[in-house]
């Protein structure tokens, strides 16, 4: 049996590992447009295990970090991540959030929703909007959902996930 204190530290260590994967491994192996978004994955895992306020606040922080990396869309990422963090925490009450498939689906849908909000808020050209919304965003969502499932299988006890489903 894992105590609450040790499971909290495992969640923190798992989140730090996801942040390291996002900034050090992802750029070396994947394109930024289609590779898995490990930072967003960490946000979703945290938001699904906290309340809507904490999820929205964490989303705002992650969004500011992403906005600092892409200053052309300043504010769009913070808005999108805040909404995604809030909805992930709220969705936990509606869906069974301890299921592997549900967690992977939350990440995939969250990535697509985040990209849609960023695209709408940043206002790119019409052809870029459709290409990113119909091709690149679903591809990144699928890759991120699969990566989330792999991370949850490897670190299932750290994130307190059951492996049924």
- Cβ-based neighbour number of residue 74 at 10 Å: 12
- Higher-pLDDT residue of 30 and 54 is 54
**Span 125-155, pLDDT tens digits:** 656 778 888 888 899 899 999 988 988 888 7
Chain centroid offset of residue 7 CA: 20
Look at the chain and report how many structural domains it folds into.
1
What pLDDT was estimated at residue 92? 75
* Mean per-residue pLDDT over the chain, rounded: 81
Is 15 domain-assigned? Answer: yes
Is 162 domain-assigned? Answer: no
Residues in contact with 41: Cβ distance below 8 Å, sequence separation at least 6, in sequence order: 18, 107, 144, 147, 148, 151
Is 14 domain-assigned? Answer: yes
Is 44 domain-assigned? Answer: yes
State the pLDDT confidence band at 82, using cuts at 50, 70 and 90. Answer: very high
Is 159 domain-assigned? Answer: no
What pLDDT was estimated at residue 75? 85
What pLDDT was estimated at residue 1? 43
Show the domain range for 111. Answer: 4-154
Q: Would the pLDDT of 31 be above 60?
A: yes
Per DSSP, which regions of 69-152 are E strands? none
Is 102 domain-assigned? Answer: yes
Is 163 domain-assigned? Answer: no
What pLDDT was estimated at residue 165? 46
Q: Residue 119: name the closest of 106, 131, 105, 104 by CA.
A: 131
16: tokens are 């730090």
Under 8 Å between Cβ of 75 and 52: no
Is 117 domain-assigned? Answer: yes
């Amino acid at each position: 049996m894992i105590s609450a204190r040790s499971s909290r530290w495992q969640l923190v260590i798992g989140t730090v590992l996801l942040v390291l994967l996002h900034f050090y491994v992802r750029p070396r192996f994947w394109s930024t447009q289609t590779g898995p978004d490990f930072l967003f994955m960490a946000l979703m895992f945290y938001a699904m295990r906290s309340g809507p306020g904490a999820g929205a606040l964490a989303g705002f922080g992650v969004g500011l970090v992403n906005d600092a990396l892409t200053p052309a869309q300043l504010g769009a990422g913070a808005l999108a991540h805040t909404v995604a963090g809030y909805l992930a925490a709220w969705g936990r009450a509606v869906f069974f959030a301890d299921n592997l498939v549900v967690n992977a689906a939350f990440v995939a849908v969250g990535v697509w929703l985040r990209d849609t909000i960023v695209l709408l808020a940043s206002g790119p050209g019409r052809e870029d909007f459709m290409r990113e919304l119909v091709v690149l965003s679903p591809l990144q969502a699928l890759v991120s959902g699969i990566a989330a499932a792999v991370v949850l299988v490897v670190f299932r006890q750290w994130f307190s996930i059951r492996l049924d489903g």
